[in-house]
Structure 1
Amino acid sequence: MIIGIDLGTTNSAVGVWREGKVELVPNSLGATLTPSAVGLDDDGALLVGLAARERRSTHPHLTATTFKRYMGTTRATKLGDKSYSPEELSALVLARLKADAEAYLGEPVREAVITVPAYFNDKQRKATRRAGELAGLKVERLLNEPTAAALAYGIHELADESRFLVFDLGGGTFDVSVLEIFEGVIEVRASTGDNRLGGEDFNKVLVDRMRAEHREALSADAPSEALATRLEAAAEKARRALTVGDRAEMAVTWKDQTYTLDVTAEAFEAAAAPLLAKLKEPVTRALRDGGLRPDDLKEIILVGGATRMPVVRRTVTRMFGRFPSTAVHPDEAVVIGAAIQAGLKSRDAALKDVVMTDVCPYSLGVDVAEHGPGGMLRTGIFSPVIERNTVVPASRSKIFSTMQNGQRKVLFGIYQGEARMVSENVRLGEVEISVPPARAGEISLECRFSYDINGLIEIDVLVPQTNERRQLVIVDEDDRDAPDLEARRAVLAALKVNPRDADANRAALARAQRCYEMFLGEVREHVGMLISQFEGVLDGQDPRQIDAARQQLLAALDELEGESFL
């Protein structure tokens, strides 16, 4: 059984293609969305999902969120006395999704299709694949999120030639892809985006306004992690309220004082104007790279939870002069597409054959030198071999020549990006090759790049005069050391993990403790009493009484702060 996984910045989900349709897998709480949050309980046990997210404001030093934004980097997050890389934290989320799928399906799960932002570079994709391996999964394919959304929309079933634009704004990343369908082929014409733009950035707009409104009380504690997480949680709640209403109140309790901020939809849109402006450039670039005009598109498909915001929908409507499609569930589209791709991978008879082509999201090339004015040699210049948005699999070559008399070696640095100077692009590796000594420019070198559907990059450098050849397959340094991967997997597997059947109780208790810190006076005392009552029932260990007490606790909390959200 191959499962499809949407590994999101804010929430993750898992689905499976079974009996001719997609089934979304519920977690231990019965929800199909699992917050991408990892934390430690007070006794050191691992928390993944809602229970971890609920403790973010009360135990920020023991909770990690939004780590997807740092995939492919060396950034470490400390939880307790241990540090975790972004891929290790992602692996813990993936392992929980794997366990949920196995509980739901009643059989072991070893293979998965995992989605990634279309604009993820090579290092970020490899880190995602490695996270899957650390979770005990064979990653059958990394599928671009907008392509997955297109599958969910059903364009794999359309017969007529059509063009679509997928506008995917999630919690932490933004992707734009232009897709074309013809004769059973789904072809990605162009992909672009911004890996540091999402709903979290719109939350920050509200956080900044709150700090400005209560400058003396809140800005003095700017370095406080506890205050920052409380502000972020309050901003998230206010932003969601503005999705369904014209006004929202943002409230934060800090040092036994409650601070509030009234926000109107109009004021929020004005404050978020710089972010809304940043949504336009990737759309323009995707259309330009795809050689299309807005009128050439049949529909604009909105995907990602952040596209629920009216300010975003109005911005998209203004861009194209028409309303976008909201036919697919913004939070479920990507995982549905991943599950469909998993079904295609397993060659399910209910899915007709469909050919999917994708594109290289970034240009790939080498560093070169050139003679500037006055003969001065300028180095570190990027020379693309495969241009961005080239349909993959692809193989392209370019001819280079020596720059100095008597030169005996040529060193090609391999880079990914769009900047003219390689120092501003992502370095992937290097290839060194010997050349016979000759006058500058007399020795030529053919440099060929090959890029496959899974993002594997191979470089082949040939010196025609000597038939000398050097080849390089780009792998991440961590991929070379299989024993190290096994050791890291063993360390993660050895973590003390709370049983799935305790998740609901821990999440409810974490939410109640957060509410206790958020409120003051009689309300705080009331919440404290609710916590004590629930803990007393937990001590009794009667499952039926615990279930009833948990429902009563959650209902009481809903009355105080409204329903909990994912």
Structure 2
Amino acid sequence: MAMIGIDLGTTNSLVSVYRNGRAELLPNELGQYMTPSCVSLLEDGSLAVGAVAKERLITHPEQTVSAFKTWMGTEKSFSLGDKEFLPHELSAMVLKKLAQSARAALGEEIEEAVISVPAYFNDNQRCATRLAAQLAGLPVKRLINEPSAAALCYSAALGRREGKLLVVDFGGGTLDVSVVDCFENMVEILAIAGDNHLGGNDIDRAIADYFCRETGLNWDALTPSAQRQLLALAERGKVGLSGIRRGLLVFQDGDQSLSVPLDGKILASICKPVFERVRGVIVRAVRDSGIPVSAMDDVVLVGGSSQMEVFVDYLEQLFSKRPTLAARPEHTVALGVGLCVGIKQRSAELRDVVMTDVCPFSLGVATYNSQGDVNPHMAVLIPRSSILPARRAQQFYTLFPDQRRIRLEIYQGENYYAADNLRLGELTVAVPPDEPGSQWVQVIFAYDINGILEVTAESSSGDRKQTVILNPKLTLSEEELQQELARLNALPTQSEIGEEDQLLFAWAQRLFAELTGPRRQEAGYLLQRMQEAAQSGDLVRQAREREDTRRRLEELERWAQWDVFEEPDDEEDEEE
């Protein structure tokens, strides 16, 4: 039985393990480390998760969903054909896919998983992640904050050198920032901040909006397929600009070919509002840590979106020194989770390593200042950035004459008024009738490193209540769990066509939609050949066609990349 680590990402997800004295990534069935966090409903009614689903984002937008992690812990639903799914249900499908890949790679069953979550995930989002794991059949006792995992990985890569780090994890859909103190065998998280709706996807949309403004396109008037195509173009432009100084974004709108220039200066201007939001998160983390930027030994960048040169340039201006881009920024969090697995297993090489974490949000109860107060404020028991595990106690007193009960509403958040924060639950204890302020309740909050809050309340009369705070909408009874599992398991996840062939079909369909002229015809010809080979039942022919098709699709992909992002000629490039 094995223990695995999972980086459940907005754009891509990875699975890791600790063995042979190091953390390592496990490949999926296609031999890739990164599995796209996408789900698609195929024509035969089966579900595709990963690379196949990603290829269908453009060709089958009504049957394909992505970036659902952004909405974890909410009741936002996503449509796949005529079926509706909540974010945690879609995440369960991704987790199930990762678990299958891990079993195949390791040759054994999974005993337990450690899953990384954005540091700024609130209680609802963490409960939803645990529920997703439960629906995927994965026992999960520990959630680790993504920047904490990144810090652990970076610290290990440096040979546990001492120093204070500012870790910026800029992913596809979330941003996390942590201040970390590494010394001896300790990795101590001093402060964290984040934005669960800020990432590379926002930059893609900003580039797409820029393209629409410059060409007169109306985003809302575009078909879902055209919108996906334009976002894919924006992403390729963002990535492609790292290799050249200037380029041209080209988009085929029906019979009309539209293009706009893109260079570092233009991209920096497009990204400025996004980067300013990043700056606000960084300021909050640094302020909470109490350590000035000048005392930071290094600024470390992880996450796929951190590789943008304009982003690194922006942070260099902000910090007056060049940040360090992690060697494998897209793998860093997953490898850090793998190290956390090693620590949890008490592996010999990590037995002395101690990692602390902090509370991402303040925790408290709603309190009233007077009898006429109709809008209670938040009385904080455990402030944000408190080192975990944390335990705090405070007394609260009766407000009305002959009051017989004290009701404690429990909240998470930073706003002054309780109603503006996230309500987690409530407890009620009895008190004897008396004068206002004569009777009281002692409230104890205990918050552990796994993000579990236990609340104990004991009144002056001895009435004692204790509960672990769990979101009722995201915590299922055994009967409810079995019903939900039966619903999800009723959906076929295995198509008659193998995953590799599914990927080639979806890849060719996407290129057919994107290309024009002879190359579009070639993509159509490849689709026809693959279909004929599949229908022939000849395994030798299918293997031969598979290899030839992959090679020709790679050639078409290079043309597609060139068509949508091509560098202007030298003469134009020299113009000022």
TM-score category, normalised to shorter length = over 0.9
Give the match for residue 552 of structure 2: 553
Give deviations 1:417-439, integer Å, cap 9, x for gaps. 10111222111111112222222
Q: Give the conservation status (yes or no) of the 8 Å contact 1:534–1:549.
A: no
Does 1:527 find its partner at 2:526? no
Q: Which moved more, 1:406-415 or 1:528-537?
A: 528-537
Q: Give the conservation status (yes or no) of the 8 Å contact 1:113–1:142.
A: yes
Does 1:145 find its partner at 2:146? yes
Residues 376/302 of structure 1: CA separation in 2 closer, same or farther (3 Å cut): same
Give the match for residue 566 of structure 2: none
Written as runs of structure 1 = structure 2, the 5 A alignment for 1:234-253 is 234-253=233-252
Give the match for residue 412 of structure 2: 416
* TM superposition shift of 1:489: 2.2
Residues 563/398 of structure 1: CA separation in 2 closer, same or farther (3 Å cut): farther
Residues 66/318 of structure 1: CA separation in 2 closer, same or farther (3 Å cut): same
* TM superposition shift of 1:225: 2.4
Question: Partner of 1:197: helix, strand, or coil?
Answer: coil
- What amino acid sits opposite 1:268 in the alignment? L
- What amino acid sits opposite 1:495 in the alignment? L
Does 1:456 find its partner at 2:449? no
Q: Which moved more, 1:445-454 or 1:493-502?
A: 493-502
- What amino acid sits opposite 1:302 in the alignment? L
Give the match for residue 467 of structure 1: 462
Q: Give the conservation status (yes or no) of the 8 Å contact 1:190–1:287.
A: yes
* TM superposition shift of 1:536: 2.3
> Equivalents in 1 of 2:496, 2:454: separation in Å?
43
Give deviations 1:375-412, integer Å, cap 9, x for gaps. 85242311111000000111111222122222222222
Q: Give the conservation status (yes or no) of the 8 Å contact 1:164–1:299.
A: yes
Give the match for residue 296 of structure 1: 295
Question: Partner of 2:376: helix, strand, or coil?
Answer: strand
Give the match for residue 567 of structure 2: none
Question: Partner of 2:400: helix, strand, or coil?
Answer: coil
Q: Give the conservation status (yes or no) of the 8 Å contact 1:38–1:46.
A: yes
Give the match for residue 399 of structure 2: 403
Written as runs of structure 1 = structure 2, the 5 A alignment for 1:448-527 is 448-464=444-460, 466-477=461-472, 478-498=474-494, 502-527=498-523
Question: Partner of 1:485: helix, strand, or coil?
Answer: helix
Give the match for residue 387 of structure 1: 383
Give the match for residue 168 of structure 1: 169
Written as runs of structure 1 = structure 2, the 5 A alignment for 1:10-21 is 10-21=11-22
Q: Which moved more, 1:81-90 or 1:494-503?
A: 494-503
Give deviations 1:46-72, integer Å, cap 9, x for gaps. 111111011111111100100000001
Residues 156/380 of structure 1: CA separation in 2 closer, same or farther (3 Å cut): farther
Give deviations 1:31-90, integer Å, cap 9, x for gaps. 111110001111111111111011111111100100000001111111012111111101
Give deviations 1:511-553, integer Å, cap 9, x for gaps. 2111212223333223212221232233334242133233233
> Equivalents in 1 of 2:346, 2:158: separation in Å?
16
Give the match for residue 54 of structure 1: 55
* TM superposition shift of 1:22: 2.2
> Equivalents in 2 of 1:42, 1:159: separation in Å?
51
Give the match for residue 221 of structure 1: 221
Deviating above 6 A after TM superposition, structure 1's stretches of 4 or more consecutive aligned residues are: none
Q: Give the conservation status (yes or no) of the 8 Å contact 1:95–1:136.
A: yes
Written as runs of structure 1 = structure 2, the 5 A alignment for 1:138-217 is 138-155=139-156, 158=159, 161-215=162-216, 217=217
Give the match for residue 336 of structure 2: 337
Q: Give the conservation status (yes or no) of the 8 Å contact 1:537–1:545.
A: no
> Equivalents in 2 of 1:347, 1:499: separation in Å?
41
Does 1:539 find its partner at 2:535? yes
Residues 475/113 of structure 1: CA separation in 2 closer, same or farther (3 Å cut): same
- What amino acid sits opposite 2:491 in the alignment? L
- What amino acid sits opposite 2:467 in the alignment? L
* TM superposition shift of 1:157: 7.3
Q: Give the conservation status (yes or no) of the 8 Å contact 1:156–1:184.
A: no
Question: Partner of 1:128: helix, strand, or coil?
Answer: helix
Give the match for residue 233 of structure 1: 232
> Equivalents in 2 of 1:436, 1:157: separation in Å?
61
Q: Give the conservation status (yes or no) of the 8 Å contact 1:405–1:438.
A: yes
Does 1:431 find its partner at 2:430? no
Residues 459/218 of structure 1: CA separation in 2 closer, same or farther (3 Å cut): same
Does 1:40 find its partner at 2:46? no
Q: Give the conservation status (yes or no) of the 8 Å contact 1:460–1:470.
A: yes
TM-score by length of 2: 0.93
Q: Which moved more, 1:383-392 or 1:504-513?
A: 504-513
> Equivalents in 1 of 2:150, 2:300: separation in Å?
8
- What amino acid sits opposite 1:496 in the alignment? P
Residues 250/482 of structure 1: CA separation in 2 closer, same or farther (3 Å cut): farther
> Equivalents in 2 of 1:97, 1:364: separation in Å?
33
* TM superposition shift of 1:336: 0.5
Does 1:67 find its partner at 2:62? no
Question: Partner of 2:30: helix, strand, or coil?
Answer: coil
* TM superposition shift of 1:159: 5.4
Residues 480/523 of structure 1: CA separation in 2 closer, same or farther (3 Å cut): closer
- What amino acid sits opposite 1:348 in the alignment? S
> Equivalents in 1 of 2:303, 2:197: separation in Å?
15
The unaligned stretches of length 5 or more in structure 1 are none
Give the match for residue 112 of structure 1: 113
> Equivalents in 1 of 2:411, 2:494: separation in Å?
43
Q: Give the conservation status (yes or no) of the 8 Å contact 2:26–2:101.
A: yes
- Please, what is the CA RMSD of the aligned residues? 2.0
> Equivalents in 2 of 1:503, 1:52: separation in Å?
11
* TM superposition shift of 1:330: 0.6
* TM superposition shift of 1:494: 3.2
> Equivalents in 1 of 2:329, 2:496: separation in Å?
27
The unaligned stretches of length 5 or more in structure 2 are 564-576
TM-score by length of 1: 0.94
Q: Give the conservation status (yes or no) of the 8 Å contact 1:28–1:501.
A: no
* TM superposition shift of 1:18: 1.4
Q: Give the conservation status (yes or no) of the 8 Å contact 1:458–1:474.
A: yes
- What amino acid sits opposite 1:530 in the alignment? L
Question: Partner of 2:247: helix, strand, or coil?
Answer: strand
Q: Give the conservation status (yes or no) of the 8 Å contact 1:411–1:430.
A: yes
* TM superposition shift of 1:168: 0.4
* TM superposition shift of 1:349: 2.3
Written as runs of structure 1 = structure 2, the 5 A alignment for 1:238-387 is 238-371=237-370, 376-387=372-383
